[in-house]
Amino acid sequence: MKLATLDIVVVAVYCISLILIAYLVSREKKGHEKDSQDYFLAGRSLPWWAIGASLIASNISAEQIIGMTGSGYAIGLGIASYEWTAALALIVVGKYFVPIFLEKNIYTMPEFLEKRYDHRVRVLLAFFWVGIYIFVNLTSVLYLGALTIKIVAGVPMMYGMLFLAALSLAYSLYGGLKAVAFTDIIQVGILIVGGIAVTLLSLDMVSNGGGAFAGFVHLLEQAPQKFDMILSKDHNHYVDLPGISVLVGGLWITQFSYWGFNQYITQRALAAKNLREAQKGIVLAAFLKLFMPFIVVIPGIAAFLLFPDLSPADRAYPELMKLLPAGLFGLTFAALVAAVVSSLSSMTNSISTIFTMDIYRSTFHHFEVSEKGLVRIGRGASITSLIVAMIVAQPLLGQLDQAFQYIQEFTGFFSPGILVIFLFGFFWGKATTHSALAAAVVSVVVSLILKIWMGDMAFLDRMGVAFLLSAAAAIAITLYEHEGDHPKAIKLAEFDFKTTTGFNIATVAVVLILAAFYGAWW
């Protein structure tokens, strides 16, 4: 595929507009110089609509769009469980986790761990997150984004990575989180418009010009097996979505660990004007998650009927894009670019925040660092992280058949332990520092053992086992130390977990919509 002149114009307008808007929204008033709170937390001034849009833009990247459409082609609507259960996880995070984070007035997740446990836990997890974000998340998004651009537009890999990294830095390096969050509104808008265009066109083609609704009905009639939400054990892809345990097992570990304690996600809530704005933004994100499968999974099912012999399945989205006319193709291509650069900018901003606040300032606190110096260090960390990611991308990912699996494997080793550390830190006053460290170690060791000796175990089930054993280790060590409540224990009675009527209505709506979806396609 090649970009027509009109497509190039559309993409160019998108890139220029993004940089211009980022500059305008992040300008400081005369006489005010950006400090660390301005740069890393947008001055704690984000409104709910920016928070909600930015949460989704940070989450959705090219590998999700391409990969989830491919999974829709190969598996069907069952892959939507990743999106739909996230909506409920977000509600829980907004009600029970965010109030604690905001009350603690923190910049980062590692900072919370020091306030709850001690400095050792903070530094250990800070180095872990920086390493994971650079060598797993950032590298994967950059590489897979460039690979997607190569497939869709024929741009060589290195040029694709340079373009994505340069665009990400161009609009986020100066303004920090404020520039990222406010431009994410544009990113999400382009994502949704581009996704809807592909969905409507593919459904119309399925119905031979009869319209999108007729096309959807045709999918239900001609590919009913693609609408099974709970896969049976004899299903070819059971190992990817292991039946009912998707709803009662390891998937929840992924959801709560990701949406509750992942810096480049929670940083949006930490930057909110207040708790109510944070919660409204999270509700918006939850409803957007309910909607996303209809623009990333349904096209994959449509492609199953339109192109029945595709191999690999991830070719589904690029094949559908070939059907788009000039201009609309450029808009959809811009949506893919938007998905990548929004994730890149979110990750680099979070890497710079953790490195600056949890490693540099926390470890070398005896050196006096000015606010201007902290911002400069943060910008340097952003640039360095992208350069490192571009250097290691090909050696790490170039030989893998499924690069997206690279992300799952590595983050899945740590997620169970991280969830134990935070949940016990929140809700069990006796949990000790040593129990937190043990949970982190046990999570990795158990995951490695299960991966080596029980390689055929479903990924989500493996996470469930690692979580239970990590929790058991943390409980055992805490009871062995038997020191009563930890000196830094969270006093839950001091927190008001009551939510507004609007939040409660939204919660009921999310639950009812989920019940309807699973009831219709069980």
Residue 518 placed within a domain:
no
149 near 65, Cβ under 8 Å?
no
Give the chain's domain count: 1
In a domain, 505, yes or no: no
Angle between helices 109-116 and 119-132 (to 10 degrees): 160
- For the chain, 522 residues long, give each residue's pLDDT as a single digit of tens: 667 888 889 889 988 988 898 888 877 666 566 777 888 888 888 999 999 999 998 888 776 788 788 889 988 999 999 999 999 999 999 999 999 999 989 989 999 999 999 988 999 889 989 998 898 888 888 888 888 788 778 889 899 999 999 999 988 888 888 888 888 888 888 888 888 989 999 999 999 988 999 999 999 999 999 998 888 888 888 888 888 888 888 889 989 999 999 898 889 899 999 999 999 999 999 999 999 999 989 999 999 999 988 877 878 888 888 888 888 888 888 888 888 888 899 899 999 999 998 888 877 665 667 778 888 889 999 999 999 999 988 887 766 555 555 566 677 888 999 999 999 999 999 999 999 999 999 999 999 999 889 878 888 899 999 999 999 999 999 999 877 888 898 988 888 889 999 999 999 999 999 999 998 887
Where residue 199 sits, what CATH number does that domain have?
1.20.1730.10
In a domain? residue 415? no
In a domain, 90, yes or no: yes
Q: What's the per-residue H, E or C state across 307-365?
A: CCCCCCHHHHHHHHHCCCCCCHHHHHHHHHHHHHHHHHHHHHHHHHHHHHHHHHHHHCC
Give me the residues paired with residue 46 across strands. Answer: 272
Tokens at 77, concatenated = 């609507």
Place of tokens 């090219």: 62
Does a structural domain hold residue 450? no
For 513, other C-beta atoms within 10 Å of its C-beta total 16
SS3 31: coil
Domain presence at residue 47:
yes
Report the alpha-carbon distance of residue 291 to residue 317 in Å, rounded: 18
| pTM for the whole structure | 0.91
Domain around 115? 5-28+41-363+374-402
The β-bridge partners of 308 are none
- The answer to whether residue 239 is domain-embedded is yes
Using the 8-state DSSP alphabet, how is residue 507 labeled?
H
Backbone conformation region of residue 155, classed left if phi is above 0, alpha if psi is from -120 to 50, else beta:
beta
Question: Domain for residue 167, yes or no?
Answer: yes
